[in-house]
A and B are shown apart, each in its own frame.
Chain A
Amino acid sequence: MSRRAVCIAILVTLLLYAVPWWRWHSASDREAPKFRLNKSFDPIDRGLPRITEEFISGDPGSRTVHVSSICEMEDGRLVACWYGGTREGARDTAIYLAVRDPGMPGPWSAPREVVNRDSASRELRRYVKKLGNPLIFADSRNRLWLIYVTIAVGGWSGSSLNLKVSDDGGRNWTPSTRLTLSPFINVSELVRNNPVQMSDGSLAVPIYHEFLGKFPEILWVREEAGGFRVRKTRIAGGRSFTQPSIIARDPCCAAAFFRSCSDERAVGRATTMDAGTTWSEPQHLQLPNPDAAVNAFPISRGRILLALNESLRGRENLQLALSSDNGATWQRVARVEEDKGAEFSYPYMMQDSHGRIHLVYTWHRRRIKHVVFNEEWINLKLQGASG
């Protein structure tokens, strides 16, 4: 190669690298976005403590259901989703969705299949062995997002994440988009808890990795012309914490709570002061955790509500706890479920536009239960506990 050819090749190289530099330089999101805090509410039953319970999914016979999430559309409709099949990780597992029209009480619609392994395989144009954890949420433009797990090889450690969006409340969906988030043949990325809206319109979705390590991460998703731009950052490394649940206190500060998978069976917590860019080293709290999912949710006066299995071994109870100091210390609010040998797991909470808190969770692995209460009920329970 002549000296002239080398010079031309160097110039071409610099031009090729100038393209991503220019994209980055001209991008509006070059500055790290801040957390967008939750909307204000319009309470319709202020002063009256309320709690109601119901099942979203009917009796599934011998089938199991698991990993539910719920969100509210702009018109007040509630949308819940979960996965169901003959057993966890079975090939007949599908993602189901049910809708409830505004105005409570009212029946939930019959569960409808949104994705199964055949449709996922068709949309992703590759082999899909089974499906798993779905997460549904509504964005600021009133569109539904569904992020769900597919597995081509192996068990949960072979998971990859996929994304679908619906403009019409879940009736029609875009084809699934595969998200590449791991350098090791894109496996071992899973999703569980509520996303956080960011100031630039992007979303911070808590995800986790479980292959050689088990650790919490954040998936940053931003919609761009013709698709989605994704990136991922780590909350912590190691093998001790998964399934982060992130609560933003102000535009920069947030706390994350983790399922513990170490020998120290206690809920983990880390904090950020720069909108999720860096995180403190996770610490164990004085809250037991039997290697089970927890879900945290911000409520009024800067308080955090946490749903957890308060046990060192099983998932036979479901407890609500409250913190007024960003998750450092906790007060027990109420035990929602307790039955020896049973399973009440994978809680997920959401607050609707009237301030009601919706808690959904797996009930005996057979049904998805929906409990609705308001903050007055929480306050009443706290008064009862202190009195």
Chain B
Amino acid sequence: MSFAFSFLFPWLLALLMIQCVAVKVKKPPHGWRLTTILAVISGIIAFLPVGGLPLARWLVGINANFSFPLVAVVFNKAWEHASGSRLFDRQASMASWVFGLYSGLVLYPMALGLGGFDPYAFGWGFSWLFIILAMVTIAFLLIKNRFAAVLMACILGYDLNLLESQNLWDYVVDPFFVLFSFAALSNRLIRRMRKPFSD
């Protein structure tokens, strides 16, 4: 199961990259017919054998566990290009960025050796991490934030062992998602700071 699932992120990424190129050359990739064609092309790219390995598996060689929120971010952007509408509204985007940055700050410094406490150890089996994530998901559901659906997908993926990792942390966060969240939040903060001066 995890082997087949490992093609999803590279395929979505290839699709998004092609869509971005199309936007750059002033040919917006709107419409389902065009998107289907681009999706097929992306699939061919993902499965293209290079040096005996499908191109997607080269990306897996760098990171085998792309988190569900990162997959959702890429999927959301590809959907936006295809349909012109967003799955993530502004609140959901903000929730995902804050969640990504906060998770990264909680996990990485300590997991990489800062102090004796390792939060990554709580992603195996069942622990307070699962309870906290369940409560966060329910809180997002109660305020009707669409990011809750992504968090539900995380635990569903974990239950189905969709990633190579057996640790729940790898389903909810990865370094690329943290970097993306940091960049998005910084960008928003800078825009906000500039706004009063431009008014």
Interface residues of A (CB under 8 A from B): 1, 6, 9-10, 12-14, 16-17, 19-21, 23-25, 27, 121-122, 125-128, 152-153, 178, 180, 182-186, 209, 211-215, 229-234, 236-239, 281
Identify A231's interface contact among B124, B133, B156, B174, CB under 8 A: B124
Contact B138 A13 (CB under 8 A): yes
Contact A180 B165 (CB under 8 A): yes
With A153-B62, A180-B65, A185-B175 already in contact, the answer to whether A237 and B116 are too (CB < 8 A) is yes
Pairs across A and B, CB under 8 Å, 29 listed: A10-B138, A10-B141, A13-B155, A16-B155, A16-B156, A17-B130, A17-B131, A17-B134, A21-B130, A23-B126, A125-B57, A180-B65, A180-B163, A180-B165, A182-B111, A183-B107, A183-B108, A183-B123, A183-B174, A185-B62, A185-B63, A186-B63, A213-B113, A231-B121, A231-B125, A234-B117, A234-B118, A238-B115, A281-B116
Q: Does any Cβ of A come within 8 Å of B196's Cβ? A: no
Identify B57's interface contact among A16, A126, A239, CB under 8 A: A126
Cβ of B14 to closest chain A Cβ, rounded Å = 17
Cβ of B67 to closest chain A Cβ, rounded Å = 10
Interface 1/0s, chain B 116-158, versus A by CB < 8 A? 1110110111100011011001100110100010001001101
Q: Give the complex CA separation of A121 and B54 in angstroms.
A: 12
Contact A16 B159 (CB under 8 A): yes
Q: Does any Cβ of A come within 8 Å of B35's Cβ? A: no
Chain B residues with CB below 8 A from A180, complex form: 64-65, 163-167, 170
Report whether over half of chain B's contact residues are helix, strand or loop; otherwise say mixed.
helix
Q: Which residue of B lies closest to A20 (CB)?
A: B126
Q: Which residue of A lies closest to B51 (CB)?
A: A127
Q: Does any Cβ of A come within 8 Å of B193's Cβ? A: no
Interface residues of B (CB under 8 A from A): 3, 51-53, 57-58, 60-65, 107-108, 110-118, 120-121, 123-126, 130-131, 133-134, 137-138, 141-142, 144, 148, 152, 155-156, 158-159, 163-170, 173-175
Identify A127's interface contact among B58, B115, B138, CB under 8 A: B58
Cβ of A48 to closest chain B Cβ, rounded Å = 47
Identify A126's interface contact among B64, B125, B165, B175, CB under 8 A: B64
Identify B125's interface contact among A19, A24, A281, CB under 8 A: A24
Contact B130 A9 (CB under 8 A): no
Contact A125 B3 (CB under 8 A): yes
